Amino acid sequence: MTPAATQIRWVILKDGPITLAQFMALALTHPDYGYYTTMSPIGSQGDFTTAPEINQTFGEILGLWILDQWIRMGEPPVCALLELGPGRGTLMADILRIARIRPRFLRALSVHLVECSPLLKQHQQSSITGVFPDAGHGSFSAPSPSLFWHRHLTAALGAIGSIPLFFIANEYMDALPIHQYEKTEDGFFERLVTITHPGHGDDFCFIRSDQKADHLHDDGSPVGSIRETCPDAQKTILLLADHLKKHGGAGLVADYGYGGGTLAAGDTFQAVKAHHYHPVFQDVGTADLSAHVNFGVLQTIADHHLKNGTTLWTQGDFLKTHGIMERAEHIMATLNGPERSLFAAGVDRLVQETQMGRLFKVMTLEARKP
Ligand code: SAH
């Protein structure tokens, strides 16, 4: 049994069945046993690969979008750049590297990272400071922005204070704990996690709560349907949108998910280990757990604050509209043979509808002028 499974089992034996959100939070971010806090999840040696790890143009296009937002705002001389869940730091490094075309932007910035993993923090430190190898030695003209790490978004926003904010979150929201509800003849009931055989193994399974979930209205879905909610994602968007509304700025959230016309697949809770889907209750704490992001709900929350300042794109449309193919062609002109084919395949993977282009979405948030 993994240490995380032992810990969760102990909690269930002591307190009874727990919500799926409690299960996910313990499995992913428990300080001693959690998946993100103890493992090295990203890359070919890890469990999954993300867009910025596939090809540099992903981060570059996001960086140019942010730079454009900063210019449209009239180039505020002091502002913050925030990333939620920066992984190995590759995305932030690509953004800061492309931002060198406007040294004034870099001078305006303090960079804030929200991260729960001490291991990934080390990766971030080396990849991000690696973008500015000569900083401080006078041989490179662009300044190195100051870097700050925070465990929670509230701490980051507190440190940032009353200045414009630019933010990004790629494959962060899918890692936040979800609740699941099952439709019965009598309405929705929450699904809880329990253990099948007290005293043996780590056989986790779902049972249905006997308390009706009165806050979920009947949407006419058939009996047996699963509904998911992610209060942490909603709170995150609310806090970010509120900051943009008060102090200005813009941001974007990229992830796999649904909304804007595409419907939830019902049960989207999934585990991934060594680049393959995995049974959700096996190898707890050593496999990634996630759920698709409900962009429809997040967009409604953000729009309420930002007077319709949000747009939901498919990742393919967002990247192509903002020039990924042109940027890729420019880089590929300098490459030959297998290197060139590999690069082209990476860009394809980001934009093709059958790959990441359609399932992945990009939601942009812009503060409207008062
Ligand atoms: N954005 C990166 C990494 C995505 S993996 C990329 O695109 O490559 C998810 C990231 O979010 C990791 O850095 C993980 O440690 C962090 N994370 C997950 N849940 C978190 C939480 N509750 N609080 C803070 N960071 C979290």
pLDDT band at 139 (very low <50, low <70, confident <90, very high): very low
Instruction: Decide: 52 in ligand 1 pocket, CB within 6 A.
Output: yes
Residue 321 pLDDT greater than 70, yes or no: yes
Residue 200 pLDDT greater than 90, yes or no: no
Residue with tokens 């282009």: 357
Q: Distance (Å, rounded) from C-alpha 180 to C-alpha 191?
A: 6
pLDDT band at 140 (very low <50, low <70, confident <90, very high): very low
Name the least confident of 95-99, 167-171, 214-218. Answer: 214-218
Cα separation values, 90 from 56, 70, 86, 121, 124, Å: 8, 21, 8, 12, 8
Q: Distance (Å, rounded) from C-alpha 350 to C-alpha 283?
A: 30
Instruction: Decide: 29 in ligand 1 pocket, CB within 6 A.
Output: yes
Q: Which atom of ligand 1 is nearest to the CA of 28?
A: 19
Cα of 87 from ligand 1 centre, angstroms: 5
SS3 assignment, position 64 = helix
Count Cβ neighbours within 10 Å for each residue of 253-277 and write b for 16 or more, e otherwise. Answer: bbbbbbbeebebeebbbbbbbeeee
pTM: 0.95
Mean pLDDT for 227-247 is 96
Residue 201 pLDDT greater than 90, yes or no: no
Residue with tokens 């990766």: 123
pLDDT, residue 349, reads 97
> Percentage of residues in the chain with pLDDT exceeding 70?
93
Instruction: Decide: 204 in ligand 1 pocket, CB within 6 A.
Output: no
Q: Which residues are 91's β-sheet partners?
A: none
The string of pLDDT tens digits covering residues 267-299 is 999 999 999 999 999 999 999 999 999 999 999
Residue 47 pLDDT greater than 50, yes or no: yes
Instruction: Decide: 86 in ligand 1 pocket, CB within 6 A.
Output: yes
Instruction: Decide: 55 in ligand 1 pocket, CB within 6 A.
Output: no
Query: Which two tokens mark 91?
Result: 């995305």
Name the least confident of 134-138, 139-143, 221-225, 263-267. Answer: 134-138
Q: Are 305 and 269 in contact (CB under 8 A)?
A: no
pLDDT, residue 295, reads 96
Q: Which atom of ligand 1 is nearest to the CA of 41?
A: 5
Residue 144 pLDDT greater than 80, yes or no: no
Instruction: Decide: 255 in ligand 1 pocket, CB within 6 A.
Output: no
Beta pairing class for 310-314 and 109-114: unpaired
The string of pLDDT tens digits covering residues 28-42 is 999 999 999 999 899
Handedness of CA 223, 228, 231, 234 (dihedral sign): negative
Substitution candidate for ligand 1 out of 23, 40, 91, 115 with most atoms within 8 A of CB: 115
